[in-house]
């Protein structure tokens, strides 16, 4: 099952990159690149910044998976920990995709931020996956 989740992460990372390349030409010269705690844009940059999160996602995903496959999670990753480890990667890559979509929508005036619920939901997911992995590994 963890391999299937890893495959979805690869697809999402690649889709985010392709989506950024397609969006670039339609973006204005300045796009939001930072959002405050309630999800409103409060920092702006050049439109080339639309590539930052997709490139980061495209680098993190294979490195995460290579560490998982080659080193078995730094030799501490037990079999029950593999699924939450994979879901943690998917959560991060999915979060990058969502943020990049919202950057594009804000730049076009279709949205006014990430939405008030993004940060709490993202944090609950990341901490939940981390807790699940800790419990699966027998650590408290």
Q: Give strand pairing partners of 44.
A: 32
CA distance 118 to 90: 16
Mean pLDDT, consecutive 10-residue segments, the chain of 140 residues?
88 95 95 92 94 93 73 60 86 95 94 91 91 73
pLDDT, residue 140, reads 43
Domain spans of the chain, in order of start: 2-136
CA distance 58 to 74: 21
At what angle are helices 82-107 and 2-24 packed, to 10 degrees?
A: 20
pTM for the model stands at 0.87
pLDDT, residue 68, reads 58
pLDDT, residue 129, reads 87
Residue 16 makes CB contacts below 8 A (sequence gap 6+) with 53, 54, 57, 58, 93, 96, 97, 100
Which residue in the block uniquely carries the two structure tokens 């979805």? 8
User: HEC states along 13-53?
Assistant: HHHHHHHHHHHHCCCCCEEEEEECCCCCEEEEEEHHHHHHH
Q: How far is CA 56 from CA 62, 92, 136, in A?
A: 11, 11, 28
């Amino acid at each position: 099952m963890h391999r299937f989740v890893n495959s979805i992460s690869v697809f999402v990372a690649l889709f985010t990159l392709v989506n950024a390349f397609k969006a670039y030409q339609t973006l204005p010269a300045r796009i939001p690149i930072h959002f405050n705690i309630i999800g409103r844009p409060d920092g702006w940059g050049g439109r080339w910044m639309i590539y930052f999160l997709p490139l980061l996602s495209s680098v993190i995903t294979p490195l995460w998976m290579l560490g998982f496959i080659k080193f078995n999670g730094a030799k501490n990753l037990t079999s029950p920990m593999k699924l939450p480890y994979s879901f943690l990667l998917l959560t991060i890559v999915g979060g990058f995709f969502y943020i990049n979509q919202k950057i594009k929508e804000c730049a076009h005036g279709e949205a006014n931020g990430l939405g008030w619920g993004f940060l709490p939901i993202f944090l609950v997911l990341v901490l939940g996956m981390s807790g699940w992995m800790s419990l699966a590994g027998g650590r408290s």
